[in-house]
Each structure stands twice: as C-alpha cells, then as structure tokens.
A = this chain, B = another copy of it.
Amino acid sequence: MGLVDHNFNLPFNIIRCSHVECGVTDLDASRKFYVDILGLIETERTKDTIYLRGLEEKNHHCYILKQHDKAEVFALGFKVAFDKDLDALEQHFKQLNLPAQWVNKHAEERTLAVRTPMGIPVEFHAKQTRVPTMMRAYSKYKGLAPLRFDHINCFTPNCQSTYEFFVSQLGFRLTEYTLTDRGDMWAAWTHRKGNVHDMALTNGKGPRLHHTGIWTASINNIIHLLDVMASEGYVENIERGPGRHGISNAFFLYILDPDGHRIEPFTCDYLTVDPDWEPLAWDLKDPRRQTLWGAPAPKSWFEHGTPFHGTKVRESDIVSQPIIAGYEDVA
C-alpha cells in the first residue's frame, strides 16, 4: 500500500493545525508550567479553563487547559480558510458516515466537531477572537520564548489507514515517512501550512496524542528553557533531548507538563509549499532519522501518550513488527 496520491481537489481548505484542548488535574500547577516556565501568554482565564497563545499569535488560543479529573485530550483544533469551508467539511464527514456536529466553543465563531475513522476528536473553526500579538513585546519573552503552535503528533494503531484518511480525505500532504518491511506506513509527517508538519502520525497503541510542537526562533531559547526548568524544579519533566532530528531537521526538546502531556519545543525546519515537493523516505534502520547525533530516546518516549476523552485505545495492528523497530520511529 504505502504512498497514496495527494488530493488537491477537495471542496474545503484546512489552513493549519491551530490548537489542542487538554484536560489537566491542577489548573494552577499547569498555569505555572505553561506561563511562568514555558513562557506562553495567558489570553484569558475562566473558572475552570485557561486559554494560552504564543508570543506572535493573534488568535485567542493555541492551548486550552481545562480542569479535569485526569490527563486526557478533548480535541485537536484545526483552522479552515473561510466559514463556508466548515459547511463543506460537515457535508464531507456526513458523506463519509463520520460523526460531525456543531458545538459552542468559547472565542470561536462556529466550531464543527468531528471524529476521524480512528476516533480522533477534531474540531474545525474559521475564526477565533483576535487578540494582540506580543511578538514585539520583547520584555515579556521568557522561558522558551514560544512564538507559535506548530504541529500535532499522534499514536495510531494503524498508521497506514490514518495517513490515508488525512491525505485523501482532508488534503494533507506528506513530507517525510518510513515504511514497514511489508510496505505499510510506519510513521508519516503531513502538513497543510507549508512546513514539515501539521499532523504527524506514528504507529503504536492508540489513538493517543504523542505531543504538540511549539516553534521558537532559536536554539538558544531551547537551551535557556532547559536551564530554567532545571533551576526551578522541573528536571523530571525533561524527557528527551536536546537534539537534532534527521527527520524534519528540527532542533528539538521533549518535555512533559505536570499531567504528562508531552510538548516539543523546537526550531529549524524547512519550507514545503511546493506541490511537487517529493516526500523523503527514511530507512527504519537508519538511527539518524530519530536523532541525527545518535543518542537513543528513552523508553517512555515510545510508550507514553495521552488518551483522547471518550476514545478507546487499542494495540497497534502491526503485531509482527519487532518492538525495537517501533522504538526507533516516532519523531
């Protein structure tokens, strides 16, 4: 099976991944982590929810942290070009016999909540409340100096079928990938906005959120975040890195929020707006794919993820795959 053709003819236009809504068990502890340490801007706080955005962002939120009884993800958010794209998406999901319903979300005009065939909860919107960018308020930069939400990475028990859905049915385009020996997709990086990924998929117990990625302007900001985390009592929340991914060329770090939601502060990827950009295939046996410099990722990194609220998690369909291979492919 492997690769499928890109679909440039869909009647809607998904612009980019925009945000994620996470259930957290201690809102104050989360605020300390996301705002004081990481450096995100708090746009608004209600009784049970905090809305955050990156320094350059002019939309209301890229993280919604909601008081909850356990660490779960409520929805992955994507922005479409125009209001009419929401209606086209509703029709599209209904034709596919997939759940699609209008929901009320704070600070979004209209929101369409759907489920992918694998059960991943996705919410589409065209407009969030506009708020001021803090990009030029340099004295507010701290921690990571996080500029913008960049991507989402999910575990899926069948990477091939989830990949096909995002590419064929939603118009995502493949940038890098690895195949199993049988020729199935083992991991895939797909995008809408023109860089390496909006949505990455990796084979594994799922569906679960593996991590969200946040863009910062420089390697030095990531090093400073590490120093700050170490000096403020967050050494245990540093999971992997810093390092360079062969895949995506990103300089990366992986950290865990107080509930175990994984975040990847990163910088340095590349432009993929060309429709004739050829996806880059990686050999499962090339360790530089994961970490260019060779350092192995910890076991937790291949096993830990955050479940989606109301979504059953199952084992990977690729049972014959040696588990060690699985240890080499999420990025």
Q: Are A219 and B223 in contact (CB under 8 A)?
A: yes
Q: Are B293 and A226 in contact (CB under 8 A)?
A: yes
Say yes or no: is A224 at the interface (Cβ < 8 Å to chain B).
Answer: yes
Q: Are B244 and A16 in contact (CB under 8 A)?
A: no
Q: Which of B127, B142, B227, B268 contacts A292 (CB 8 A)?
A: B227
Interface hit among A112-120, A201-209, A273-281: A273-281
State the number of copies, please: 4
Q: Are A82 and B227 in contact (CB under 8 A)?
A: no
Chain B residues whose C-beta falls within 8 Å of the C-beta of A139 in the assembled complex: 37, 142, 228, 231-232
Chain B residues whose C-beta falls within 8 Å of the C-beta of A163 in the assembled complex: none
Q: Are B220 and A138 in contact (CB under 8 A)?
A: no
Docked pose: A81 CA to B173 CA in angstroms? 14
Say yes or no: is A238 at the interface (Cβ < 8 Å to chain B).
Answer: yes
User: Mask for A224-261, Cβ within 8 A of B = 1, else 0?
Assistant: 10111111100110100010101001010000000000
Which residue of the partner chain B has the closest CB to A223? B219
Known A218-B219, A271-B148; contact A137-B292, beta-carbon cutoff 8 A: no
Q: Which of B8, B147, B238, B273 contacts A294 (CB 8 A)?
A: B238
- Least CB distance from A22 to B in Å reads 22
Q: Are A226 and B274 in contact (CB under 8 A)?
A: no
Say yes or no: is A12 at the interface (Cβ < 8 Å to chain B).
Answer: no
Chain B residues whose C-beta falls within 8 Å of the C-beta of A79 in the assembled complex: 274
- Least CB distance from A27 to B in Å reads 21
Say yes or no: is A217 at the interface (Cβ < 8 Å to chain B).
Answer: yes
Docked pose: A251 CA to B267 CA in angstroms? 16
Known A130-B278, A223-B251; contact A56-B293, beta-carbon cutoff 8 A: no
Known A218-B218, A230-B244, A293-B230; contact A274-B235, beta-carbon cutoff 8 A: no
Q: Are B293 and A229 in contact (CB under 8 A)?
A: yes
Q: Which of B135, B226, B275, B288 contacts A15 (CB 8 A)?
A: B275
Say yes or no: is A2 at the interface (Cβ < 8 Å to chain B).
Answer: no
Top 3 nearest A-B pairs by Cβ distance? A138-B227, A235-B294, A230-B292
| Residues in A lying within 8 Å of B, measured CB to CB | 8, 15-16, 37, 56, 58-59, 79, 81-82, 126-127, 130, 135-139, 141-142, 147-148, 193-194, 217-220, 223-224, 226-232, 235-236, 238, 242, 244, 246, 249, 251, 267-268, 270-271, 273-278, 287-288, 292-295
21 CB contacts below 8 A, A to B, read A8-B82, A15-B275, A16-B271, A56-B249, A58-B277, A136-B249, A136-B292, A138-B224, A138-B227, A139-B228, A141-B224, A141-B227, A193-B271, A194-B194, A217-B267, A219-B219, A226-B244, A227-B292, A229-B293, A235-B288, A238-B294
